[in-house]
Each structure stands twice: as structure tokens, then as C-alpha cells.
Amino acid sequence: MPGAARFMLMTVVVFQTLPGAQRSRAGSRPDARPEHPPVEARNEAGCISCHAEVVSRRVMHGPAAAGQCATCHVVGSAAGRRRIVLKGGASSRDTAALCVTCHQEIRDRLEQKHRHAPVAAGNCTACHDPHGSPFRFQLPAEGNRACTTCHEDIAQALAQDHVHAPAAASCQICHDPHGASSPAQLRTAGNAVCLACHVDVPVDASVVEGGFMFGRRPAEGIERLIATGPRILLDGSLVSGHPTIAHPVDARPDPSARGRTLGCASCHNPHGSAGAKLLRFGAKGVSSLCIKCHSF
């Protein structure tokens, strides 16, 4: 084969393997799906005659339960064919702008500094089925299993011998599932989320009020958890006093994690651990934990 022809052939082969070329060819393929049948205005009964599975779930999205498909869907077109699409140009992987037109109570959380990854991507349907599911809030599983489906490290912690009672009850007690101003979507910053349940302090010390932190509709059983949680005694500044007098619990560098501030989670796993008192590092007792930082 002449050199020029061989060069041209190699150029074509290389171009066809480039990601952009692959996308270009994929984008040029005709949509093989059949055209959607004509839709009469506001004829939701016509939708259900084909999509009966959408209205047969135990927990239904309000518009789907009422047969109001047009709340979220409109008739559109793609490649010259009739299609049923989401309002406002939303896609199945970016629905947040459409969802908050009704769910305005979560709008502010979608703008928080620390957001759940699907929320940050606008992908509400990663956690909520837009039509319905067998579980509350149209989640893909009941309770914490909706979270641990993705957060496998937390699933492992919750399988340990000793599990934090709120973590076993509901992830939402400590974390906002959409977004918050604090890292890890904690409902308040630093140790305060722990101290709301676990601290006994002088009456003049300022502590986050549990009822305020957990919102107007706190998770079921939160009052019992607050009342029965083990207590620690700190000084009035709330930065020292546990596990011994003058031992710091805040406002110091964490010797076990460079770049982090010392806190409750420096010594305790807030989800679960093999040792009692939720001790970290596989420690089965206080002494074996202390030597992680205090070597002699």
C-alpha cells in the first residue's frame, strides 16, 4: 500500500476511536423508539391505560396519585417524532429545577455549601422515584437502607457489634439528606450535633437545643434518644473535660488526622464500631485508644 494511502487509513482509524467521534456517531443515529401516540389535552386516563404500573405503587407522588401527569410532563418532540418530555427542559438526571417548583421547602437546602452528591447534580430521581415506590418518600428502600445502598462504608459500620442508636434509627437524625451548611450535611457544625444529646454542662453554657436542631418535624423517637443518651460532663466552654478533666475535645489540632480539628469523631465512630463506646481504631477499651495519640 502506498505511504500516502496508508497514512490516510491510519488517520481515519484513529479519528473513529476518539471519544468525540464516538459521541458524534451515536448522536447521529436515528431514535429507534416508536413515536408516542397522540395525546389529548389533560387526558390522564389515556396515560394510565398504557402506564398502569405507574399508579400501582404503595407510596405515590402526589401528582401521579391524582392522575395529574401534566404537572410534570408535556408533549414534545425529538428528531421529528412526538415524545413525552419533562417540563422546563428537565431531563431524568437533572430534575431539581422542576421538582422545586412544587417542593419549595427544600429549595434553600439545594443551595447549601455541603450538598448530597445527587442533589448537587440536580438528580432528585437518584433517591426518589418520581411516580412512586413501596417506601416512604418514594425512596428505593426502607429507612437507612436507602442510604447504605450507596454508602457502603456506613453499612459496614452499622453491622458492627456496637452501633450508635440514632444511626440505627435514622440517618436523618444527624444528617440532612439534601444539604446543609456543615460538612457531611450535619445538621449543625462540629461537636454541637453530638452535644445536643450527650452533654451535661453548667447552666450558663450554650448548647444547641435538640428540638431546634432537628427541625419542626423531628425524626420519630428523637426525644427518647435525647433523654436516654449517655452523658458526658464538659466545662462551660465546651472545649474540654472529656474523658478526663482538662482533656480537650475541640479547638485543637487532631493528632490522629492531620489538617483536622479535634472533635468527638476523633475518638468515636458516630455510626458503629467493634468496641464499646463506639471507640475508633478497633480499640476495645479506653487505654488502647489513648495510646494512639499518647505514646510514652
pLDDT digits (tens, 9 = 90+) for 169-189: 889 888 999 999 999 999 888
Distance CA 84, CA 87 (A): 10
Cβ atoms within 10 Å, residue 59: 14
Tell me the β-bridge partners of 114.
180
Q: Where are the domains of the chain?
A: 34-140, 142-290
pLDDT at 60: 93
* Digit-coded pLDDT (tens) for 40-51: 756 677 788 888
Enumerate residues 6+ apart whose C-beta is below 8 A from 188. Answer: 182, 196, 208, 213
pLDDT at 42: 62
The count of residues in the chain is 296
Distance CA 175, CA 193 (A): 9
Closest by Cα among 90, 177, 88 to 138:
177
Distance CA 54, CA 67 (A): 10
Distance CA 76, CA 74 (A): 6
- In three-state secondary structure terms, 230 is coil
pLDDT tens-digit profile, the chain (296 residues)? 555 444 444 443 443 444 444 444 444 455 566 788 877 756 677 788 888 888 888 999 999 988 888 899 888 887 778 888 898 888 888 899 899 999 988 888 888 999 999 999 999 999 999 999 999 999 999 989 999 999 999 999 999 999 998 899 889 888 999 999 999 999 888 888 888 888 876 555 555 555 555 555 556 667 777 777 788 888 888 889 999 888 999 989 998 888 899 999 999 999 999 988 999 988 888 888 998 888 76
Give the torsion sign (CA, 182, 183, 187, 191). Answer: negative
pLDDT at 48: 81
